[in-house]
Amino acid sequence: MDRTLATPALMTLNDTDADLSLVERYLGGDLTAFDEIMLRYERQIYRLCYRFTSNADDARDLAQDVFIKAFENLVNFRKESSLKTWLYRIATNHCINHVKSNTRQFVEVTDSTKQTRATAHVALEEKEQREHFRHLVTKLPPKQRAILELRIHEQLSYEEIASMSNRSVSTIKASVFFALEKLRKLVKEPLRVRS
C-alpha cells in the first residue's frame, strides 16, 4: 500500500529509548528524572485536557491528576507501549470520565449559548464560528471525541491510538470518519433551524 502521508508525531526510537531510561532512572530514585518527564509531556497532556474542559483551571487539575496517577503507577508501566502513549491513555480515560460526569453542565452551557445567539440575531463571525464548532465537538460521544482529538489535534498515529485503546487501526479510522460525519450533521442542524 502506498502511503503518501507521513505518519505525524510518530515517536522515534531514540525518544522511546530516552523515555524508558527516564522511567528507569525515576524508579531507581533519581528525582531529576521526574522533572525531565514532566518537561517532556506536561504541555501536551495539559492541552489535551484543556480541549476536553475548555477551562484552564479544570485542565490544570485534570493534567495534574494524570501525572500523579502516572507517577504512582510508573512501577506498573510494562514498556509494551511508549511512555507517551501510556500517558495519553491515562489522560484520555481521565478526560472521558470527566466529560461523562459533567455532561449536564456541558448541555446547559450549550443551550444557554444557543439562546443568547438566537435572541441576539448576530451573524457568527469567524471567531464565533470556531467557538460554535468547538461546542459541536463537545457534543460528540466522549470516546469518539477522544479519538478525534488524539488524531487531529494531538496528531497521534492511528497505530498509537489503536494501541492505546486496544482496538484495531481500522476501527480507529472508522471512528474518526463517523465523528466527522456526525460533526457535519451537527453543523447543518442550526442552519435548518434558522431557515
Partner 1 sequence: MFGHLKAEDFMNLMEGITLAHKRQVHLGSCARCAETLKSAEATRNQVTAMQTTADEHIPEPDWTDFRGEVRNALLSRSVKREGAKRSWLGGGWKPAAAWGFSMVLVFGLMTSVVLRNQQITMEPSASGVVSVEETLEPAGTINAIASMSQPDVFDAIIQLDEHETESLRLLLEDLTKQSVSRQ
Q: Is 18 exposed, middle or buried (0-12, 13-18, 19+ CB in 10 A)?
A: middle
Using rule CB under 8 A, residue 130 touches partner 1: yes
> 166: phi > 0 → left, psi -120 to 50 → alpha, else beta; which?
left
When binding is defined by CB under 8 A, the residue of 17, 100, 134, 189 that contacts partner 1 is 134
Using rule CB under 8 A, residue 1 touches partner 1: yes
When binding is defined by CB under 8 A, the residue of 24, 107, 133, 189 that contacts partner 1 is 133
Count of residues engaged in binding partner 1, rule: CB under 8 A: 39
Using rule CB under 8 A, residue 34 touches partner 1: yes
Residue 100 or 153: the one with the smaller Cβ distance to partner 1 is 153
Q: Measured between alpha carbons, how far is 42 from 63 in angstroms, rounded to an integer?
A: 8
**Is 139:107 a contact under the CB 8 Å cutoff?**
no
In the block, cell 508501566 appears at 77
Distance of CA 110 to the CA centre of its chain: 20
Using rule CB under 8 A, residue 47 touches partner 1: yes
Using rule CB under 8 A, residue 121 touches partner 1: no
Using rule CB under 8 A, residue 10 touches partner 1: no
Using rule CB under 8 A, residue 60 touches partner 1: yes
Question: For the stretch 165-187, what's the b/e string if a residue is b when 16 or more beta carbons lie within 10 angstroms of its beta carbon?
Answer: bebeeeebeebbeebeebbeebe
Q: Measured between alpha carbons, how far is 187 from 179 in angstroms, rounded to an integer?
A: 12
When binding is defined by CB under 8 A, the residue of 41, 46, 52, 86 that contacts partner 1 is 46
Using rule CB under 8 A, residue 80 touches partner 1: no
When binding is defined by CB under 8 A, the residue of 63, 90, 95, 161 that contacts partner 1 is 63
Per-residue cell: 150: 488524539
In the block, cell 488524539 appears at 150
When binding is defined by CB under 8 A, the residue of 10, 27, 38, 107 that contacts partner 1 is 38
> 82: phi > 0 → left, psi -120 to 50 → alpha, else beta; which?
beta
Which positions touch partner 1 (CB under 8 A)? 1-5, 34-35, 38, 42-43, 46-47, 50, 56, 60, 63-64, 67-68, 71-72, 130, 133-134, 137, 148, 152-153, 170, 173-174, 176-178, 180-181, 183-184, 187
